């Protein structure tokens, strides 16, 4: 027994699934103890890079379809908590850690314009806790653990959003509303877990799916599923439950918006996917009915309405927030098809949109550092004054629209293919219409950026601010040209989940 324990300690690679979550969690209190801005940033950056290395290793290990499991404390499930990494969550772990590294790099210079210096240590601590929560939600295979990590990430997100109050006090009420909505969502989720536990007596996802199969069409499980759909719908801002999102995104500091827009809603959607495919049997009548008659219409409404509202927004942060709603609509739509192709399209779009939206919000953040104002009228002519940042914004915009050669094209193509395969050609038309609306609101910004006189008092920003934006913009192009990273893994993930 003792030699066995020794052996597991020696192999660091066996512990990667948990290290991923533990590293940022441990760094957070350490930087609070040091309470020095520079050390805080260095350690946080170091931590996110470790997370990135681990996530790449995990993705490499799971790309061939194998599944890594880790038993916390050596307790074998269903008694103990299990961490389970397969292709589906390794791709999300990668997205979250890449975005966190880039955002961390960007924040070294960008944060100072929005949050006072003495708060930076605590800010980074919160950021790391948020990262811990998001990574934990994705890595775990225990449904109650999902809730705990979800709340760790949500609670730190509320704090991060409220940090925007140093620039605009409306961040406080936005954060409060987010807190109320998020807590209602999380509580619904817990009720759902309670129902599932009541019916199956287990909290481990694999175990539940086996036991639920024996139970057949059980009303308690159906009730649990309904609660989980509503709870996660609130967290992922599915359309009638999205009210918290535009304000939270637009009043939070840019660094936070960037990180949240790229990761938080995707993680909630991942939880929904995981529950539908790994916990519940998606072939049951009630699951497919809910998806066909509830999620699909809501996804289509989100796609159209989000884009239309975005067209009329003058506050650019809000414009991008509403565009995020529309993009979440695409992902929900892909999921609601309940086909392998649809699911893989949804997963690819999660990653591609993560990079795209992060690039757009980051470029917008760079504009705001110069202009101190998120409104459309303030960025007049910045295309000439800040050529690099503006070009990156245009690349992100093209990817959002779905122009060939960018990441957005790949995922929209896959989505339309999946929709046509299922025979819903009207829905395919709706996707195209929504993309056309995206052309309108992106063009509106590009026009103001480039077709105005060059302002005199604004110049290009430093290397440290422009390079992370360009890394994200290059990701948008790279993922549009090389689909090996996203599409192959997403196909593998869809195969495993089905």
Nearest alpha carbon to residue 121 among 137, 107, 133 = 107
Residue 279 is a binding residue for another protein (CB under 8 A): no
Single residue of 34, 71, 176, 282 touching another protein by CB under 8 A? 176
| Minimum CB–partner distance for residue 30 and another protein (Å) | 21
- C-alpha span between 351 and 491 (Å, rounded): 13
- If the CB atoms of residues 267 and 321 are measured against another protein, the closer one turns out to be 321
C-alpha dist (Å) from residue 372 to 253, 315, 446: 12, 12, 19
Nearer to another protein, 149 or 475 (CB): 149
Tokens for 225? 């599923």
440 lies in the binding site for another protein (CB under 8 A)? no
Query: What SS3 state is found at 410?
Result: helix
Binding-site size for another protein (CB under 8 A) equals 34
327 binds another protein (CB under 8 A): no
Site for another protein in 193-212 (CB under 8 A): 194, 197-198
Q: Reduced to 3 states, what is the DSSP secondary structure of residue 85?
A: strand
Does 313 interact with another protein (rule: CB under 8 A)? yes
Residue 158 within binding range of another protein, rule CB under 8 A: yes
Residue 23 CB-half CA count within 13 A: 21
| Min CB(170)–another protein separation in Å | 6
372 binds another protein (CB under 8 A): no
In angstroms, the Cα distances linking 411 to 272, 380, 439 are: 19, 32, 17
The CA distance from 201 to 427, in Å, is 40
Q: What is the DSSP letter of 380?
A: T
- Whose CA is closest to 155, among 139, 127, 179? 179
With residue 84 as reference, give the H or E element that holds it: strand 82-85
Under rule CB under 8 A, residue 109 binds another protein: no
176 versus 478: smaller Cβ distance to another protein = 176
**How far is the CA of 149 from the CAs of 124, 129, 141, in angstroms?**
18, 10, 12
Binding mask 336-355 for another protein (x = CB under 8 A): --------------------
Site stretch for another protein (CB under 8 A), options 127-135, 151-159, 295-303, 483-491: 151-159
Residue placing its CB nearer to another protein in the complex, 124 or 178: 178
Is 238 a residue that touches another protein (CB under 8 A)?
no
Dist. CA 238–CA 162, nearest whole Å = 22
Interface residues toward another protein, by CB under 8 A: 144, 147-148, 151, 155, 158-159, 162, 165, 169-170, 172-173, 175-176, 179-180, 183-184, 186-187, 190-191, 194, 197-198, 246-247, 312-315, 375, 377
């Amino acid at each position: 027994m003792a030699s066995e324990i020794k052996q597991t300690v020696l192999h660091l690679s066996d512990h990667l699934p948990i290290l991923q979550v533990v590293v940022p969690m441990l760094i957070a209190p350490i930087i609070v103890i040091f309470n020095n801005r520079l050390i805080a940033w260095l350690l946080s950056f170091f931590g996110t890079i470790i997370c990135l290395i681990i996530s790449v290793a995990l993705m490499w290990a799971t790309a061939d379809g194998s599944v890594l499991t880790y038993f916390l404390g050596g307790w074998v499930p269903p008694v103990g908590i299990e961490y389970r990494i397969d292709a589906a969550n390794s791709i999300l772990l990668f997205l979250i850690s890449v975005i966190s590294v880039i955002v961390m790099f960007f924040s070294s210079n960008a944060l100072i314009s929005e949050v006072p210096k003495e708060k930076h240590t605590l800010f980074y601590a919160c950021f790391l806790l948020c990262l811990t929560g998001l990574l934990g939600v994705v890595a775990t295979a225990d449904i109650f653990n999902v809730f705990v990590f979800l709340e760790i990430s949500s609670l730190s997100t509320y704090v991060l959003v409220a940090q925007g109050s140093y620039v605009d006090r409306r961040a406080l009420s936005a954060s409060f509303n987010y807190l109320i909505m998020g807590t209602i969502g999380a509580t619904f989720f817990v009720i759902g877990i309670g129902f599932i536990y009541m019916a199956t007596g287990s909290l481990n996802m694999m175990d539940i799916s086996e036991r639920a199969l024996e139970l057949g069409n059980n009303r308690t499980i159906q009730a649990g599923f309904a609660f989980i759909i509503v709870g996660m719908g609130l967290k992922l801002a599915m359309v009638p439950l999205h009210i918290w999102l535009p304000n939270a995104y637009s009043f939070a500091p840019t660094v936070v918006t960037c990180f949240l827009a790229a990761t938080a809603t995707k993680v909630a959607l991942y939880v929904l996917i995981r529950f539908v495919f790994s916990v519940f049997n998606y072939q049951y009548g009630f699951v497919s009915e809910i998806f066909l008659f509830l999620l699909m219409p809501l996804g289509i409404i989100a796609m159209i309405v989000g884009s239309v509202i975005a067209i009329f927004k003058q506050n650019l942060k809000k414009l991008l927030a509403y565009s995020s709603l529309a993009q979440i609509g695409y992902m929900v739509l892909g999921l609601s098809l309940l086909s392998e192709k649809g699911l893989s399209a949804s997963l690819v779009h999660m990653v591609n949109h993560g990079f795209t939206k992060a690039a757009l919000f980051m470029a917008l953040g760079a504009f705001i550092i110069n202009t101190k104002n998120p409104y459309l009228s303030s960025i007049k002519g910045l295309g000439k004054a800040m050529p690099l940042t503006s070009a990156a914004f245009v690349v992100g915009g093209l990817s959002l629209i779905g122009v060939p050669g960018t990441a957005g094209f790949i995922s929209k193509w896959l989505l339309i293919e999946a929709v046509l395969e299922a025979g819903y050609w009207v829905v395919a038309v709706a996707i195209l219409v929504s993309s056309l609306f995206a052309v309108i609101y992106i063009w509106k910004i590009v026009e103001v950026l480039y077709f105005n006189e060059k302002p005199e008092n604004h110049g290009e920003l430093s290397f440290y601010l422009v390079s992370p934006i360009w890394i994200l913009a290059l990701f948008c192009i790279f993922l549009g040209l090389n689909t090996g990273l996203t599409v192959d893994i997403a196909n593998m993930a869809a195969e495993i989940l089905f």
